[in-house]
Structures are given as structure tokens and as C-alpha cells.
Amino acid sequence: MARVQPPQDRAWRGFTRTLLLAMAGLFAAYLTLAVVVDPYDTGRSSLLSRGAIRPQGPRTASALRGRDPAYSGAVIGNSHIQLIEPAALTRLTGIPFVQLSVPATGPAEQFALLGWYLKHHARPDAIVLSADAFWCSDDPTFPSEHGFPYWLLGDWPDYLQGLLRFTAAQETINRLGWLLNPRRKQAASDGWWDYESNYLSQGFGRDPAKKAALERPVGPEAEPHHGGPFPVADRLRVELAGVPAETAVVLVFPPVYARAEPPAGSPRDAAEAACRAQVRSALAVHPLNTVIDGRAGRPEADNPDLFFDQTHYRLPLARALTDEIAAAIVRLRTHATE
């Protein structure tokens, strides 16, 4: 004879079933809403895309900037190349440029951005890459102390999983409010961010302690992860295989202040030189390439007025570097058509 469940058991089971169904419904409703809103405008849903960037950091804004078809040229790196103004490159080369540099990133994040850009630009005109000291690591995973939203640039499963976080839910609501605001503010579509004022507000260029830090020489020893071989060389070869042969690729070793250069002949000097040599060799697999070496003992490197700290240069030097990058791009493209 079947056992009859007590009324309270049946009521509890019914309540539990209803609660679980309600939670599943809310989960599905949120995920549907988040996909439709596309909080960072990755292009996976175009229903609410307005082609404009809501003010936000470059880490997330790069999802829209990197897929924008208006830009057939891109600058990719971190704060060591971020002062290269895309509008100036556009004016000097005739190529519409976007800045995809993200502060505090290394090669892993930068190659992810390159892949995202190439996914949305089958035949770009030019790409500028910045190879700083973070490239010279012996760890092929290129770990970073700072988080990066790889899920924004990933496939659908990664993207859906990424939406299941509190910050993404917040941004979904924020984007809805921004879309409904007729006076909504917009960020620069080309990614230009002049951070000079930020550094100046922190006392760089004036604070005696910061000036003293600028003049502190580095030691002669080799730092950790600077002994080689350098996995970035093999990784760069792989990434360049996805770049069309007719795309001009300019790789920049960004300038550093003279005191940041290791003593000539020291272990660190040898390691850093070896790293740059391996990067040059990897770059050579691409038929339309050139290197701009800001570490080549330039006289500007001795001028403290051109640097905030030992690795961040100021606008005057950035403008000179911009001219040099533009000239290199024009030269490469001219030779390609001869």
C-alpha cells in the first residue's frame, strides 16, 4: 500500500519546486536581458548598440573600440604607448587609427586585444605594437597582477559566463540608464586619453621625492624572469601569422629615462638586449614590418623634463615618437606598392 505523504511534506515540496522554478526564471530573465543590453557593447547583440562609448575604463571600452569598422589602424600596448595620439597618426598617414592600449597590461592581454581587433578587421592597414619590459618574461603565460576581462573578447560560452557576475549586472543597469538619457555623455571613440594631467596632479615633475626617484639608477643585476629564453618571441610569431601580409606592422620599444637603462655590459643589459633581439627576429616573419627602438641611447632620454617617471614619457616626446611611427608606416606602405 502506497505511503501517503503528510500535508506539510507536500506543501514543503511544492514550495521548494516553486522557489527553484522562480530562481531559474529570474536567472534566465537576467541572462536574456544582459545579452540583449550587451553592457559593454561587444556587438553580440546590436539591438541597443548606438555606436557610441559610455564613459568607462579602457579595459572594457576596448571591446567596442576594437570592433569599430571605422578604424583600419590600431595602437596596442599599455601606458608606455598610450600617449601616442591616434588622431595625429591619422592625420600623418591617412589611416584612421584607434588607441587600444590598456594600462598595466602585458603581452597576454595585448595579444588578446590584437586577436579581437583582427577578428573584426580582416584587412587592416597598420598595427602598432609596444614591446616593453613586460614582454621579457620567462613565463609563457605572461601573468599579470591586474585583472583583465578576457571574457569580453572570448567566444560565446566565455561571454555568457562572464555576464554572471555582479559587476556585469551593475553595468547592464548602468547601460540601460545611459541609453535612456537623452543627454548621455560619451567617451572618445578613438581611445585617446591624455593622462598628463593625472600625473601632474600627483606631483610628478614637481615633488622632490619623485624627482629623486627619477634619478635613481637601476642595478646591474638581472631581474627575475629576465634570463631568457623569452617565450614572447614564439608567441609573437604565432600572432603575426594572423596579420595579413599587406598590413604594415610597426613594433616600438618605448623610451625609458636614461637612469632606467642598466649599466653597459651588466647581466641586466645583456638580458634586455637579448630579449629585444629575439623580438626583432620574431617580427621578421611578417613581410611588412619595422622596429622603432626608443631604447637606442637617444639624447632625449637624458632630459628629465620629458619623463614623469623612469618609464613614462611626456607629451613632447610622445609627439616626436608619433611622427616617427607615422613616417615608418608611410615608408612601409610606399615600398609595398612599388
Question: What are the pLDDT digits (tens) for 250-287?
Answer: 999 999 999 999 888 888 888 899 999 999 999 999 99
pLDDT band at 227, cuts 50/70/90? low
**pLDDT score, position 8:** 64
pLDDT band with cut points at 50, 70 and 90 for residue 11: low
> pLDDT tens digits, residue range 28-66?
898 999 999 999 999 999 888 888 899 999 999 999 999
How many Cβ atoms are within 10 Å of 331's Cβ, its own excluded? Answer: 13
Question: What residue ranges do the domains of the chain occupy?
Answer: 56-147+188-337
Q: What is the pLDDT of residues 312-337, one digit of tens each?
A: 999 999 999 999 999 999 999 998 87
Burial class (CB in 10 A: 0-12, 13-18, 19+), 4: exposed
Q: Nearest CA to 241 among 279, 290, 287?
A: 287
Under the banding of pLDDT at 50, 70 and 90, the label for residue 27 is confident
Grid cell at residue 33: 536581458
At 5, is the pLDDT very low, low, confident or very high (cuts 50, 70, 90)?
Answer: low
Domain 56-147+188-337 classification at class level: alpha beta
Query: Which residue has cell 606592422?
Result: 249
Pairing of strands 248-253, 97-99: unpaired
What percentage of residues in the chain have a pLDDT greater than 90?
71
Helices marked H in the chain: 7-37, 58-65, 86-93, 107-120, 156-163, 166-180, 196-201, 208-214, 232-240, 267-283, 315-337
SS3 74: strand
Burial class (CB within 10 angstroms; exposed 0-12, middle 13-18, buried 19+) of 327: middle
pLDDT greater than 80 at residue 123: yes
Query: Which SS3 state, helix, strand or coil, does residue 333 take?
Result: helix
CA atoms within 13 A on the CB side of 315: 11
Residue 1 has pLDDT above 80, yes or no: no
Residue 318 in contact with residue 80, Cβ under 8 Å? no
pLDDT at 222: 56
Q: Considering only CA atoms, which of 328, 302, 307, 329 is closest in space to residue 318? A: 307
Name the pTM for this structure.
0.91
CA 146 vs CA 102, 108, 109, 154, 272: distances in Å: 11, 12, 10, 18, 23
Q: Strand 126-130 relative to strand 73-76: parallel, antiparallel, unpaired?
A: parallel
Say if residue 3's pLDDT is above 80. no
* Residue 224 confidence (pLDDT) above 80: no
